[in-house]
Structure 1
Amino acid sequence: MTDTTIAPATHGVTLTEAAAAKAASLLEQEGNDELKLRIEVQPGGCSGLIYRLYFDENMHDGDAVVEFGGVGLVVDQMSVPYLDGASIDFEDSIHKYGFSIDNPNAQGSCACGDSFH
């Protein structure tokens, strides 16, 4: 008899401890245990591609989910190649507040920093 168990899909994106803690805090405020943090790449912006980072309770065929500190990070099948090796961080300082994405696959970005190629 063959094993028909399907291994969960994985992706190469990581969350720093600071990003996981901030996402967990925001998820707790939402009060919905079904929500996960989703990152995706879509066409748009000055350089051709943009990131979307948001909470989502829907799972789609081909989605890959990895847990970081109790936070599920979801990447759709089409975005995985663009995001492999990327890291999501969160900074709360006088100079910067918010999530940032360090992506070794981005070969350049526009002047405003909102898109990449």
Structure 2
Amino acid sequence: MTQYVEITESAAYHVKEMMAHNGEENAYLRVAVNGGGCSGLTYGLGFEENKSETDYLMTQHGINIVVSIEDAGVLEGTKVDYKESLMGGGFTIENPNAIASCGCGTSFRTAKKVGTPEVCE
């Protein structure tokens, strides 16, 4: 089975903390690609109670992760990590398919999918 997205141990730890805090221990972690941002695409991370028939399911570090069939090609090989810095901590996403990203640091595009760019302010 293809692992479209890799979740590091550090990211998994923080995802589990968020799930427990929100009372969503049995939810799926959805990793998605949405239209928007300066470069056309943005990432989405969120919790969902149900899995769709058109989702790929992966389990890593005790977390059930879903990726839609539509997003799988854009996300293949993507690594989600959690890093601490002097400014605090946060999730980072490294996608080998991204060929350009925005100066805002929140959007990207790939050779196969451009998305719907917005104007950055």
Tell whether the structures are fold-level matches, with TM greater than 0.5: yes
Corresponding residue number in structure 1 for 2:83: 91
CA distance in 1, matches of 2:105, 2:54: 29
One-letter identity of the residue aligned with 1:62: T
1:14 aligns with 2:6: yes
CA distance, structure 2, for counterparts of residue 53 and residue 60 of structure 1: 16
Alignment partner, residue 53 of structure 1: 45
Query: How many residues are aligned here?
Result: 109
Deviating beyond 6 angstroms after TM superposition, the runs of 4 or more aligned structure 1 residues are none
TM, length-normalised to structure 1: 0.85
Tell me if structure 1 keeps the 8 A contact 2:16–2:25. no
Aligned CA RMSD, in angstroms, stands at: 1.5
Residue of structure 1 equivalent to 2:71: 79
Paired AA for residue 44 in structure 1: G
Aligned amino acid, residue 99 of structure 2: Q
Q: Which secondary structure does the structure 2 equivalent of 1:78 belong to? A: helix
Give the Cα separation in 2 of the matches to 1:80 and 1:53.
Answer: 14
More strand by share: 2
Deviates more, 1:28-37 or 1:98-107: 28-37
Indicate the residue corresponding to 2:61 in structure 1. 69
Q: 1:26 aligned to 2:12?
A: no
Q: Which residue of 1 aligns with 2:34?
A: 42
Distance 1:47 1:115 in 2: 5
TM-score by length of 2: 0.82
1:5 aligned residue: none
Which sections of structure 2, spanning at least 5 residues, go unmatched?
A: 110-121
Q: Give identity over the alignment, percent.
A: 39
Match of 2:113 in 1: none
C-alpha contact (below 8 Å) 2:24/2:47 kept by paired residues: no
